[in-house]
Structure 1
């Protein structure tokens, strides 16, 4: 039995306030996309605020920044949802409509089974990735690292290219 699971965080900064009509398609899609994630093979946990999503969970002092955090069985399970689910892909393809460019917006890392990372922990992993590039402490889909227990990280390069 695995001793580690894969945590991920991705952040985004809205171009306009979250409740602006320009963001309606994104906000309206959250419940459906989250339900797909929740039912996906290998899904373990996701950050949820007051509603069924995490858009109200503060990342820092900037109210336009939102975070998505989740824990998965492994890199392949997360990649299957991120890069192969049609509804998630449809939203990802439109992200430039709603969000500003952030150079390093996502980080992956291994956590002990049962650990649920905090937003501060996730932001620290993004900062590590931005400062050091991919390492065992914070990595990307393009350059994954094996779990500390030796569970291999599958390469999903074709999907994230």
Structure 2
């Protein structure tokens, strides 16, 4: 068993309230995409709120900001879901329809195996990435860092553009 697992958090800010008709396709896709994530090789855990997703979990004072947080076996497992899973890719390619542009919206970091990060931890890592850029404590797919036990991490090409 690996000593470390990969945590990820991303946030998005809806252009309109989540229940607005303009967001119907996104909201309707959540359960299916989450089920695919959970069935993916290397998936370990994901944040959920009152429902089967985390859209009701507050991460800032802005009610239009929603989180997604999960833990994966390693960078390759997460990248396979994010960049090579067709249902996820089709939603990611449409994100500009639903969400405002954010300069920094996703962060990756290594956690000890079995640790489940909190929203506060994820937001702190996101703030760290925004303040000082990628490093061993907070990084991106394009600039990954090896796990503390030396497990290497290679950059991942963004295929969602």
Could you say which TM-score interval applies, normalised by the shorter chain?
over 0.9
**Per-residue deviation, 1:158:** 6.1
CA-atom RMSD in angstroms? 1.1
CA distance in 2, matches of 1:21, 1:119: 28
* 1:139 partner SS: coil
In 2 relative to 1, CA 14–70 (structure 1 residues): closer, same or farther, beyond 3 Å? same
* 2:27 partner SS: helix
* 1:2 partner SS: coil
CA distance in 2, matches of 1:39, 1:5: 17
CA distance in 1, matches of 2:160, 2:97: 20
For structure 1, the residue ranges without an aligned partner over 5 or more in a row are none
User: Residue by residue, what CA displacement relative to the aligned partner does 1:97-126 show, whole Å, maximum 9, x if unpaired?
Assistant: 000001000000000001000111101111
User: Residue by residue, what CA displacement relative to the aligned partner does 1:20-41 show, whole Å, maximum 9, x if unpaired?
Assistant: 0000000000000000000000
Equivalent residue for 2:83? 83
User: Residue by residue, what CA displacement relative to the aligned partner does 1:34-69 show, whole Å, maximum 9, x if unpaired?
Assistant: 000000000000001111000001111110000000
Equivalent residue for 2:63? 63
Structure 2 length-normalised TM: 0.97
Equivalent residue for 1:4? 4
For structure 2, the residue ranges without an aligned partner over 5 or more in a row are none
How many residues in Structure 1 have an aligned counterpart in Structure 2? 161
Equivalent residue for 1:34? 34
Q: In 2, are the aligned partners of 1:141 and 1:160 still within 8 Å (CA)?
A: no
CA distance in 1, matches of 2:31, 2:110: 26
**Per-residue deviation, 1:159:** 4.2
Equivalent residue for 2:110? 110
